[in-house]
Amino acid sequence: MIQRYLGNKNSIADYIISEIDRFCVPGDIVCDIFSGTVSMSMALKKHGYRVISNDISYFSYHFANFYLKNNCIPDFDLKALGIDKVNDTEVENQIEEQRGKDGFLFLDKVSNEDKFKKIAIILRYLEQINDNAINKENINHYFYDTYTEEGDNSKFCSKRGSIGNRRFFSPANGKRLDTIMNKIREWYQMNVLTDLQYSLLISVVCESVEKISNTQGTYHDFQREGYDARALNPLTLRWPAFDAIIGTNNSHIIGKCQDSLTFIEEVPEHSLMYVDPPYNFRQYTSYYFMLNLLSSYCEIDDLAEYFSKIKFVRGQNMEDDFDSTFCKSNLFIPSLTELIKKAPCKYVILSYYDGRNHKNKGTPRKDRGIDQIEELFKSDIFVPNSFELKSFERTNYQSFQGHSANKCKEFLFIAEKK
Ligand SMILES: C[S@@+](CC[C@H](N)C(=O)[O-])C[C@H]1O[C@@H](n2cnc3c(N)ncnc32)[C@H](O)[C@@H]1O
């Protein structure tokens, strides 16, 4: 799954689950209302909870559709996709290497292995094809043109006047990404993919692209000078680990790019709502626009028109953007209050951390957010004296300044709703 995501709870999911376990039992419904990379949704799924999951970002929907809602290994029809080569010794050797590894125990079952082998063959096919495998009218070079330094449409001029060419990807990876996305787009438009298969392919591409992006984690900017070593590795498509996907059989509810404030009005009663809000000035749909672009690329009718509207140094079409009230310091607490009031749940657990990512420009040294959230959790929305504040220190590898590991304090605000 995506690792370099601001606020990703992957490394502390078990700790949060142990708190959730105090109030809920497996089989209960838990809502992950800002699900992002779906790391918490997946931790909840693994622990036997039924999960409600939603995020404003399109990539998060594809992840939720494939990883969370789905409980099987999709069975692809290679012929329908135009893939003749149904045996590949290299794929078989790689499967042997994966056998017994974390996430791949499912390979012990022959029927699982047969289906997985087809997925591995498709991913290998996508990595290896060139434009000859794509119908002429579907050949485009928008990722190369817009996001690599050799591209015709990659020039930028920043507000401060610095100029250059975008380099989110090496030119070789930009070309490879174009081929992969054009082929998936062709399949999508030919209607030969189920929704689940489509989400699988998009999730795999998003995860794989993260590993070779010339960024410090977000897509708000790229390395202006040269390339990060990882960006020079060739783009390869990462195999999904199915153990967690097929390990349980509960049904889950997912939203598709909905504002949490409206989504919460549609969800059924649930035991607990886990809230991991942004509460900083960074709009996630801008910071991770590339993942959302990959997620919608196959569905954009007029790509030429779409890419003619890109803006800013990063090259985003702002028609895709969403201005979240949770990312505005004056609207954060009112939005949170509205969300909690509307939620048909018994308990609320909210994550907050005091890392520098949560400091707004001009924010005083002491982070006011903690006091404001505490006030809310002690308000009359909640049962008197039910409020608990848990905190622990952890290493923040997601420091926006690069790869440095800062210490930050992680808080959990817990209370029972009236
Ligand atoms: C701190 S991150 C959540 C991280 C997530 N728990 C994980 O482990 O990946 C906050 C999330 O809130 C989402 N978001 C921001 N405003 C939103 C809104 N109004 N409605 C729904 N999602 C929103 C962002 O897209 C982002 O993924």
CA-nearest residue, atom 7 of ligand 1: 8
**Contact 259 CB / ligand 1 (< 6 Å):** yes
CB atoms within 10 A of CB 322: 14
Environment class of residue 67 by beta-carbon count within 10 Å: exposed (0-12), middle (13-18) or buried (19+)? buried
Q: Is 125 within 8 Å of 201 (Cβ atoms)? A: no
CA-nearest residue, atom 6 of ligand 1: 35
What pLDDT does 281 receive? Answer: 79
In the predicted structure, residue 358 carries a pLDDT above the cut 80: no
Mean pLDDT across the stretch 108-128?
Answer: 98
Mean pLDDT across the stretch 135-148?
Answer: 98
Q: Where are the beta strands (DSSP E) in 312-386?
A: 316-317, 345-353
Q: 357 Cβ partners below 8 Å, 6+ apart? A: 6, 7, 280, 282, 396, 398, 399, 400
Intervals of CATH 3.40.50.150 along the chain: 10-71+248-283+324-416
From ligand 1's centre to the CA of 64, what distance in Å? 13
What pLDDT does 409 receive? Answer: 87
How far the first Cα of the chain sits from its last, in Å, is 36
The residue count for the chain: 418
Distance of CA 66 to the CA centre of its chain: 12
From ligand 1's centre to the CA of 175, what distance in Å? 31
The ligand 1 atom nearest the CA atom of 10: 8
**Contact 316 CB / ligand 1 (< 6 Å):** no
Mean pLDDT across the stretch 134-155?
Answer: 98
What pLDDT does 407 receive? Answer: 74
What pLDDT does 166 receive? Answer: 98
* Predicted confidence band of residue 294 (pLDDT cuts 50, 70, 90): very high
Question: Percent of the chain beyond pLDDT 90?
Answer: 89
CA-nearest residue, atom 24 of ligand 1: 284
CB atoms within 10 A of CB 339: 23
Indicate the angle between helix axes 289-296 and 195-212, nearest 10 degrees. 150
**Contact 179 CB / ligand 1 (< 6 Å):** no
| b/e sequence 191-229, b meaning 16+ C-beta within 10 Å | ebbeeebbbbbbbbbbbbbbebbbbbbbbbbbeeeeebe
| b/e sequence 144-166, b meaning 16+ C-beta within 10 Å | bbbbbbebebbebeeeeeeeeeb
The ligand 1 atom nearest the CA atom of 2: 9
Tokens describing residue 328:
């505005």
How distant, in Å, are the alpha carbons of 4, 39, 205 from that of 310? 24, 30, 22
**Contact 369 CB / ligand 1 (< 6 Å):** no
Cα–Cα dist 73/91, whole Å: 17
* Predicted confidence band of residue 399 (pLDDT cuts 50, 70, 90): very low
* Predicted confidence band of residue 401 (pLDDT cuts 50, 70, 90): very low
Cα–Cα dist 239/208, whole Å: 9
Q: Which CATH superfamily is domain 10-71+248-283+324-416 in?
A: Vaccinia Virus protein VP39 (3.40.50.150)
**Contact 37 CB / ligand 1 (< 6 Å):** yes
In the predicted structure, residue 397 carries a pLDDT above the cut 50: yes
More confident residue, 300 or 358: 300
Q: Secondary structure of 81-128 in the HEC alphabet?
A: CCCCCCCCHHHHHHHHHHCCCCCCHHHHCHHHHHHHHHHHHHHHHHHH
In the predicted structure, residue 354 carries a pLDDT above the cut 90: no
Lowest mean pLDDT among 21-30, 144-153, 163-172, 364-373: 364-373
From ligand 1's centre to the CA of 130, what distance in Å? 36
State the chain's mean pLDDT as an integer: 94
Mutate-to-test residue for ligand 1 from 2, 15, 32, 34, highest number of ligand atoms within 8 A of CB: 34
From ligand 1's centre to the CA of 283, what distance in Å? 9
Tokens describing residue 81:
């996709």
Q: What are 45-94's pLDDT values in tens digits?
A: 999 999 999 999 999 999 999 999 999 999 999 999 999 988 889 999 99
* Predicted confidence band of residue 261 (pLDDT cuts 50, 70, 90): very high
**Contact 320 CB / ligand 1 (< 6 Å):** no
Q: Is 156 within 8 Å of 165 (Cβ atoms)? A: yes
**Contact 63 CB / ligand 1 (< 6 Å):** no
Cα–Cα dist 250/333, whole Å: 34
Paired sense of beta strands 50-53 and 253-254, if any: parallel
For residue 378, what is the DSSP state?
T
Helix (H) or strand (E) holding 408: strand 406-416
From ligand 1's centre to the CA of 36, what distance in Å? 5
Q: 136 Cβ partners below 8 Å, 6+ apart? A: none
Cα–Cα dist 238/3, whole Å: 13
**Contact 260 CB / ligand 1 (< 6 Å):** yes
What pLDDT does 369 receive? Answer: 85
The ligand 1 atom nearest the CA atom of 39: 8
What pLDDT does 48 receive? Answer: 98
Mean pLDDT across the stretch 367-371?
Answer: 82
* Predicted confidence band of residue 405 (pLDDT cuts 50, 70, 90): low
**Contact 355 CB / ligand 1 (< 6 Å):** no
What pLDDT does 355 receive? Answer: 66
**Contact 218 CB / ligand 1 (< 6 Å):** no
Q: What are 189-231's pLDDT values in tens digits?
A: 999 999 999 999 999 999 999 999 999 999 999 999 999 999 9
Mean pLDDT across the stretch 259-283?
Answer: 94
Q: Which amino acid is at 244?
A: A
In the predicted structure, residue 240 carries a pLDDT above the cut 60: yes
Mean pLDDT across the stretch 284-295?
Answer: 98
Helix (H) or strand (E) holding 51: strand 50-53
Helix (H) or strand (E) holding 414: strand 406-416
Q: Which amino acid is at 411?
A: F
From ligand 1's centre to the CA of 362, what distance in Å? 23
